[in-house]
Amino acid sequence: MTTSVSAVSPAVTAKARLRGVVFDMDGTLTVPVIDFPAMYREVLGEEEYVRIKSQSPSGIDILHHIETWSPDKQKRAYEIIADFEKQGLDRLQIMPGASELCEFLESKNIRRGIITRNVKEAVDLFQKRFGMTFSPALSREFRPYKPHPAPLLHVCSNWEVQPNEVMMVGDSLKDDVACGKRAGAFACLLDETGRYNSPQYQNVEFKPDYKVSSLFELLSLLEKNFNLIA
């Protein structure tokens, strides 16, 4: 994968029709403020965190692990996650380029949605605070959640479009890219810092069709590489 806005998948050649864009929220539409490694360590414990991280090169699916636990242990884990998420809400900031990108999509009558593993309260606050509307906007109350393709397929059904007419955009290989590719959609990885250039991410199962370092680059990518059709 490269840091340019060109395709990283050889399958992407001619201009394809694009009728909708679905975004992850945390770290994609909003500036990343949640310390996920710290949260994972507190939920899992240091030893278990290190063990699972060594087995999961593309990232830890904390919700998947919690689902296998006893009710009491689950309750404590969700309380820890809720506390980290509450701190994130207090510091909520919009990602640079998000407003411009959404205005561009609106000017082209391109649909936009959200699929996040955060809670509905956070999604509602984001849309209200920054005056943006995404529909559907699916939080983790929708099951099964990313990386399962079900939420993205639900969005496509709601829009009455085919998955290959939609792009999933997010900052996570294991959640966003995997969800998009499993559903049959285009997948674009937002990698601000270039961390996914690390060799440990080169052999993951699901790779993005495109990779950008900002939402401004994504706007240029959409304009250059797709036929934008409502």
Q: What is the pLDDT of residues 43-58, one digit of tens each?
A: 998 988 888 888 876 6
Q: Which amino acid is at 82?
A: A
Using pLDDT thresholds of 50, 70 and 90, give the confidence band for residue 109.
very high
Residue-level pLDDT at 4: 44
Identify the active-site residue in 26, 61, 191, 209: 26
Please indicate whether residue 24 is annotated as part of the active site: yes
Q: Between 128 and 88, whose confidence is greater? A: 128
Q: CA torsion angle for 66, 70, 72, 74 (degrees, to 10)?
A: 10
What mean pLDDT comes out for the span 105-125? Answer: 95
pLDDT at 192 over 70: yes
Using pLDDT thresholds of 50, 70 and 90, give the confidence band for residue 165.
very high
Please indicate whether residue 26 is annotated as part of the active site: yes
CA angle 56, 58, 63 (to 5 degrees): 70
pLDDT at 12 over 80: no
Residue-level pLDDT at 3: 40
Identify the active-site residue in 24, 61, 175, 176: 24
Sign of the C-alpha dihedral computed for residues 156, 110, 170 and 28 taken in this order = negative
Residues 6+ positions from 19 with CB-CB distance below 8 Å: 110, 111, 159, 161, 165, 166, 229, 230
Average pLDDT of the residues of the chain = 90
Query: What is the rounded CA–CA span in Å between residue 150 and residue 182?
Result: 9
pTM score: 0.83
